[in-house]
Amino acid sequence: MLMDKTGRHLVMMPHLERSTFPWNWAYYPKDRNDEVSPWLQAFVNAKEWVLEKK
């Protein structure tokens, strides 16, 4: 993860936008039954932050 001086996130690997659905994962345990990836929370948090700072 790379951040600026304020601690804001600039870049991150792997690409979260490519991991929103379980079938996009390189490995997905058979005992999980997610409709969407837990990684989707990163986008929810980003949206909430933007709306808060508006």
Q: In which element (H, E) is residue 3 found?
A: strand 2-3
Nearest by Cα to 15 from 51, 43, 50: 43
> Tell me, what's the pLDDT at 47?
93
pLDDT of residue 51: 96
- Please give the model's pTM, rounded to 2 decimal places: 0.60
Ranges under pLDDT 50 in the chain: none
Residue 2 CB contacts under 8 Å (≥ 6 apart), including other chains: 9, 10, 11, 12
The residue assigned the tokens 């709306």 is 51
